[in-house]
Amino acid sequence: MLMHMMNTSHVWNYYAEKSPLASKGYKKGSYWPRGKMLGGCSSNNAMIYVRGNSRDYDRWEELGNPTWSWKDVLPYFKKSEDNGAYHIQEEKGAFHGVGGPLKSRPITVKVDELMDSIYSYFRYGMGPIGSIGSTDLVGFVNTQSQAARFPDIQYHHFVYKAKTPDFATILGKFEMEDYINAQLIELNKKAEILIVFVTLLNPKSNGNIKLRSANPYDPPVINANYLEDHRDVATLIRGIRYFRRMLTTQNFKDHEMEEFKIGIPECDKLDFESDSYWECYVRYMSTTIYHPVGTAKMGPAEDPSAVLDSTLKLRGVDGLRVVDASIMPNIVSGNTNAPTIMIGEKASDFIKEQYKPIPKKTEL
């Protein structure tokens, strides 16, 4: 569904401006679809339920947003959740809720069984994770220290069986250059393909969005500024290397997983193991995982880039709140839909608090 809606009239087909720093392997630059139907992107997304981590929200509060710490937002995550894993409810009820509109179902698999489980799912659609889609398989690592509490890379996975009938059409949705598509189409004729999205968390590069003109039908100017800050490039390279190291583990070998090197003329002149090769590679293959946030961030009055106060009221305009992913002062470390729903739940309490009925007087 996710892929089939791309480049159709069901979504706003936006593109970030072309850049020499990132997405060089994509014909029109990084594609930013936005759901046009009721529910916006929550209706055309991959339905991965991730909250980020506690530090993200504690940091929001530290930045001058009272009542947005992890302790404060947790009840709102629980409120919207209907967690179907009853054993998780028993063990971790303090963190998960039931009865809300948003169904979630964590799958837990022991680490040493993980590869077998993933493979059983990919190959036969069976096993402990057989009831979920491959896009639901996400992993988090800290590429600098195993002891670190917080991740800097998230892995998303897409898998295609050998000879997937509509593979060229699906791949076409990414709008990569023809010479890249051709290599993957050829590969899929003989092999199953696991595409790993090495996803940068908490990027240091910042972008902006502007109106292109006074015509509301003109698409906005999206300056993503991906990979402008070199620390982001370095983290992505560590994330790629971390995953490549797993290819040498027995589990990957047992399943005959092999790395496929996509030929990119400019990068192929460089030593395959070098930092400069991988920098070249990420500048070609990088794109979005569809989680832009922060264009109308909340923050204290003294922060000139904060247009909202911490109750999401727009400064300088009476009676207007902004309630969506744009209010995040920093992106969370993960996917953004569950956090956006939490923001909606919290905003509804701000409004109820403001308009709560005035208690009737019982005496003169």
Residue numbers annotated as active site:
291
Residue 32 phi, psi dihedral angles, 5° rounding: -120, 80
Nearer to ligand FAD, 131 or 144 (CB): 131
* CA 216, chain centre distance (Å): 28
Within 10 Å of residue 91's Cβ, how many Cβ atoms?
12
Which region, judged by CB under 6 A, interacts with ligand FAD, from 65-73, 75-83, 160-168, 334-342?
A: 334-342
User: Min. distance of Cβ 336 from ligand FAD in angstroms?
Assistant: 3
What is the amino acid identity at position 305?
S
291 near ligand FAD, rule: CB under 6 A: yes
182 belongs to the binding site for ligand FAD (CB under 6 A): no
41: its two tokens: 């992107």
* Segment near ligand FAD (CB under 6 A); pick from 37-45, 160-168, 241-249, 255-263: 37-45
Q: Does 2 contact ligand FAD by CB under 6 A?
A: yes
Rg of the chain over Cα atoms, rounded to whole angstroms, equals 22
Does residue 35 touch ligand FAD according to CB under 6 A? yes
User: Distance (Å, rounded) from C-alpha 245 to C-alpha 242?
Assistant: 5
337 is a contact residue toward ligand FAD (CB under 6 A): yes
Considering the complex, what minimum distance in angstroms separates the CB of residue 153 from ligand FAD? 17
Q: How far is Cα 216 from Cα 222, in angstroms, rounded to an integer? A: 15
Q: Kindly write out the interface string for residues 38-57 of this chain, putting x where it contacts ligand FAD by CB under 6 A and - elsewhere.
A: --xxx-xxxxx-x-------
Least distance (Å) from ligand FAD to the CB of residue 299?
17
Q: What angle do CA 15, 18, 24 make, to 5 degrees?
A: 110
294 binds ligand FAD (CB under 6 A): no
CA dihedral 69, 70, 74, 76 (to 10 degrees): 30
The pairs formed by 265-269 with CB atoms below 8 angstroms and a separation of 24 or more are: none
User: Which of 18, 34, 71, 103: binder of ligand FAD (CB under 6 A)?
Assistant: 34
Q: Is residue 332 part of the contact set for ligand FAD (CB under 6 A)?
A: no
φ/ψ (deg, to 5) at 16: -70, 150
Interaction site with ligand FAD (CB under 6 A): 2, 12, 33-36, 40-42, 44-48, 50, 290-291, 324-325, 335-338, 340
